[in-house]
Structure 1
Amino acid sequence: MTAPTESKRVTCPICLEPFTWREEELYRRVTDSSGARWVRADLSNIHNPVKRSDRRARCYVQCPNPSRENREHYLPISYRDHGEPIIIGLVGRGESGKTHLLATMIHAALRGDLRHHGLAFEPADELRHMAFQLEINELMRGNKLEATEDLKEEFTTYLLVRTSAGTTRPVVFFDVAGEDFVRSGAQGLGGQFVLGATALMFVDHPAEAVPSLYGSPERNVNPAFAGALQRLAQRKDMADLPVVMVLTKADELRYQHPVDHWIRLDDAREPLSAAQFRAESRDVYAFLDRYDAQPMLDTYEKFRRGTLHVVSATGVAVDLNNQYPRGVRPARVLRPLLALMAMIGLVDHPEAVEVGT
């Protein structure tokens, strides 16, 4: 048994219930012939402080699950060790491209592509990241990823971001099925993360977001956006949440102005410029307005601080075999993440405070 540590109140990102963090009981995940299960981790006989710190870093604390609404769940030990967690949620209908966007975004962030902006990301949850890394590898091999499973209560991956100013914060990413925001059964737990989110990415793809461009005169309804906004209405601080509106699969619009301009720009090495964020947001807003993309525009207008972006997670459309035979070539996938990091206050740059205003 581990020595008691100073208690601290935390809010679980999964069940959204506060509890007192205690490390008297630590757990680790083991897999053997009987399957995978959680077992108690006993560090009492480890006296080498370096070795003990290493073993502790691989442990988890069980959330007491006070409301008893969720399944049994565990949080990585590092959830307590750093600053206030940042919870980022992706909101979008099925097939909107959320999963591919998140995979390529995290891949680029972990590769160090935002180091020019003083941001370094690293995995902080070995188990969850291992599962997510398998998805990243699958996509990088040119295979389309499966849609997000329904009623997914867990977060997708958990990272640490270290800034050039010396700050370290946990970053939790949620990607749930779009249908979970409007599902009437099973308590609707899959989309409840918006109630505790620090920032949000609203994601849609051209065929649904701008149907008139594809010959459909009907103004589309986005049930995922509507469902998320309905839940967010419970929060008094809803309008103050930083948001990014992301039009995915922009490779389909590579010859459409102004998408053709923005999709070709480097999103990692260019200097941070609030004016450029405003210019892209202005152009994307005008494009969406021209083609009557009302769900995206209406959602954007409900928040005081936000940016609009065009991205392509793969660079090309999938073929009939659900593959990308020439591989994937992501474009602008880091831009939304950089915008949120600036709006949250993690980018050490004089213009960061102006991003999204």
Structure 2
Amino acid sequence: MQCPICLESFAWREDALYRRVVDDSGARWVKADLSGITNEVKRKDRRARCYVKCPNPGKENHEHYLPVSHRDHGDPIVIGMVGRHASGKTHLLTAMIHEALRGDLRHHGLTFEPADELRHAAFQREIDQLMRGNKLNATKDLREDFATYLLVRTASGSTRPIVFFDVAGEDFVQSGPNSLGGQFVLGATALMFVDHPASAVPQLRGDKDVDRNPAFSGALERMGRRADMKKLPVAVVLSKADELRYEHPVDYWIRQDDLREPLDAQAFREESRDVYAFLDRYEAKHMLDVFERFERSTLHVVSATGSQADENNLFPRGVRPARVLRPLLALLAMSGLVDHPEALEVGT
């Protein structure tokens, strides 16, 4: 198996399962002994809550464990969120997972469930905090673990694991021989590049100095070592689009509620066309460069919260996500998970 965290291959050992226990001495990993369980249903239930320890062959990462389901459902789709500090990608990922788990993509034959109860418990706290109207903290630097791990069930009855990485944008520009910043892009199977209006389109506000995007350039530089780089499915996302709700064509697309409509590759093309023209008008070169580097890519406008946080880091009118699932749907269609003939044309 290849570990999505350290990217090393290792022998999967079902005879060495672990579980996480918390007691008066703190939290720790202990070996799980299932040998005495003879009831098959009970054994499956206990096994589903177990983890396998990655031996960390390269010894570069911290100790880490993978849910036992990692082996049960085929190769995982590893989606990486790439964006600079304060680009909105953490809020986007949180709102996206919230809507996916509540079933908002069921009209496309896709349902989701957590596959890693420990990591998802922490991620669920982030979801709850955001849905209560609280601004989330920025992603910590040098995060070597994935944000959450889900299973997606398709209309055909198959299941696939989906791993989401949300890494601080600064990690892509960390230097030094021991830097692991952003290394997940070396094993990602799909990517979401995220930037917000203040940095992506500064000319819209009269700032003639186009801001460079070190997160984008750092990720592209690292991925340049991959022979399959151009074939990766990519969604390029202009986040915090509520700031542009009166700007054409953002005003049109941010109001579209089309998740219940049948998958239509032309709709993705039209949004990509309009967003491309908007970005080109204001010389958003970094986002356009990413879009043009890949064979299959889409452009989107989204708003994870619907408004900006106040001075108390609260969203006083609550959180109202808009179009946060469109980039995910595009990536899943390009990854072959959407059972619809139009899926083959998305991103082309």
The TM-score, its normalising length taken from structure 2, stands at 0.99
Residue 232 of structure 1 deviates from its aligned partner by: 0.1
How many angstroms apart in 2 are the aligned matches of 1:96 and 1:186?
A: 27
Q: CA RMSD in A?
A: 0.8
Q: Compute the displacement of 1:23 (Å).
A: 1.0
Q: Distance in 2 between matches of 1:271 and 1:291?
A: 33
Please say if 1:42 is aligned against 2:33: yes
Aligned match of 2:6: 15
Aligned to 2:204: 213
Q: 1: CA distance between counterparts of 2:177 and 2:102?
A: 38
Out of 170, 175, 184, the residue aligned to residue 193 of structure 1 is: 184
Counterpart residue identity of residue 79, structure 1: H
Residues 164-212 of structure 1: CA deviation (Å, up to 9, x unaligned): 0122100000001000000114723130000000000000000000000
Q: Give 1:270 deviation, angstroms.
A: 2.1
Asked if 2 retains the 8 angstrom alpha-carbon contact of 1:211 and 1:217, the reply is: yes
Match of 2:161 in 1: 170
Letter of the aligned partner of 2:189 in structure 1?
T
Gaps of 5+ in 1: 1-9
- The CA distance in 2 between the partners of 1:186 and 1:269, in whole Å, is 48
Assess if the C-alpha contact under 8 Å between 2:96 and 2:324 holds in 1. yes
Which ranges of 4 or more aligned residues in structure 1 deviate by more than 4 Å? Answer: none
Q: Counterpart in 1 of 2:45?
A: 54
Q: How does 1:172-321 map to 2 (within 5 A)?
A: 172-185=163-176, 187-321=178-312
Q: How far did 1:39 drift?
A: 0.7
In structure 2, what is the equivalent of residue 334 of structure 1? Answer: 325
Aligned residues: 348
C-alpha distance in structure 2 between counterparts of 1:188 and 1:260, whole Å: 41
**Identity between Structure 1 and Structure 2 (%):** 74
Q: Point out where structure 2 has 5 or more consecutive residues left out of the alignment.
A: none
- Paired residue secondary structure (1:40): strand
Structure 2 counterpart of 1:351, from 330, 342, 345: 342
What is the TM-score when the length of structure 1 is the normalising length?
Answer: 0.96
Mapping of 1:57-68 within 5 angstroms?
A: 57-68=48-59
Measured in 1, the distance between the counterparts of 2:262 and 2:228 equals 31
Deviation at 1:259, TM superposition (A): 0.2
CA distance in 2, matches of 1:20, 1:80: 11
Contact 1:161 1:168 in 2 (8 A): yes
CA offset digits 1:8-66 (Å, max 9, x no partner): xx100000001111111110111112111111111111111111100000000000100
